[in-house]
Protein backbone atom coordinates (compact mmCIF):
# COMPACT_ATOMS: atom_id res chain seq x y z
CA UNK A 1 0.00 0.00 0.00
CA UNK A 2 1.27 3.50 -0.84
CA UNK A 3 2.18 5.60 2.18
CA UNK A 4 3.22 9.30 2.03
CA UNK A 5 6.89 9.90 2.87
CA UNK A 6 6.27 13.27 4.51
CA UNK A 7 3.34 14.92 6.28
CA UNK A 8 1.39 17.37 4.09
CA UNK A 9 1.73 20.82 5.64
CA UNK A 10 -1.35 22.78 6.67
CA UNK A 11 -0.55 25.51 4.12
CA UNK A 12 -0.30 23.04 1.23
CA UNK A 13 -3.43 21.22 2.35
CA UNK A 14 -5.46 24.43 2.73
CA UNK A 15 -4.37 25.92 -0.62
CA UNK A 16 -5.44 22.72 -2.35
CA UNK A 17 -8.82 22.79 -0.65
CA UNK A 18 -9.44 26.51 -1.21
CA UNK A 19 -9.50 26.22 -5.02
CA UNK A 20 -12.61 24.05 -4.95
CA UNK A 21 -14.85 26.74 -3.48
CA UNK A 22 -14.18 29.59 -5.92
CA UNK A 23 -17.27 30.92 -7.71
CA UNK A 24 -17.35 32.62 -11.09
CA UNK A 25 -19.15 35.90 -11.62
CA UNK A 26 -22.37 35.56 -13.64
CA UNK A 27 -22.17 36.55 -17.32
CA UNK A 28 -24.17 39.57 -18.48
CA UNK A 29 -24.74 41.12 -21.89
CA UNK A 30 -26.34 44.42 -22.90
CA UNK A 31 -29.79 44.39 -24.48
CA UNK A 32 -29.62 45.62 -28.08
CA UNK A 33 -32.92 47.53 -27.69
CA UNK A 34 -32.89 49.19 -24.25
CA UNK A 35 -29.28 48.68 -23.10
CA UNK A 36 -30.13 46.98 -19.79
CA UNK A 37 -27.88 44.15 -18.56
CA UNK A 38 -29.47 40.73 -19.11
CA UNK A 39 -28.39 37.10 -19.10
CA UNK A 40 -27.03 36.00 -22.48
CA UNK A 41 -29.34 34.01 -24.80
CA UNK A 42 -32.45 35.11 -22.89
CA UNK A 43 -35.29 37.57 -23.57
CA UNK A 44 -34.81 40.98 -21.94
CA UNK A 45 -37.09 41.27 -18.92
CA UNK A 46 -37.23 45.03 -19.25
CA UNK A 47 -38.41 45.47 -22.87
CA UNK A 48 -39.20 41.92 -24.12
CA UNK A 49 -36.75 42.00 -27.06
CA UNK A 50 -34.33 39.24 -28.11
CA UNK A 51 -31.75 39.84 -30.88
CA UNK A 52 -33.61 42.98 -31.99
CA UNK A 53 -36.99 41.20 -32.35
CA UNK A 54 -39.91 41.81 -30.00
CA UNK A 55 -40.75 38.44 -28.45
CA UNK A 56 -42.91 39.47 -25.50
CA UNK A 57 -45.33 42.40 -25.63
CA UNK A 58 -44.59 44.71 -22.70
CA UNK A 59 -47.07 47.39 -21.65
CA UNK A 60 -45.61 50.72 -20.48
Q: What is the pLDDT along the chain (60 residues), one digit of tens a residue?
A: 899 999 999 999 998 888 777 788 889 999 988 999 999 999 999 999 998 888 888 776
In a domain, 1, yes or no: no
In a domain, 7, yes or no: no
Q: What is the model's pTM? A: 0.54
Residues 32/46, Cβ–Cβ less than 8 Å: no
Spatial separation of the C-alpha atoms in residues 40 and 52, rounded to whole Å: 14
pLDDT at 60: 62
Domain tally for the chain?
1
Domain that holds residue 41: 26-60
Spatial separation of the C-alpha atoms in residues 56 and 30, rounded to whole Å: 17
pLDDT at 21: 74
Spatial separation of the C-alpha atoms in residues 33 and 15, rounded to whole Å: 45
Residues 50/42, Cβ–Cβ less than 8 Å: yes
Amino acid sequence: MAVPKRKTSKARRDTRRSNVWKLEAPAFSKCTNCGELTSPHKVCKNCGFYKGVEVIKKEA
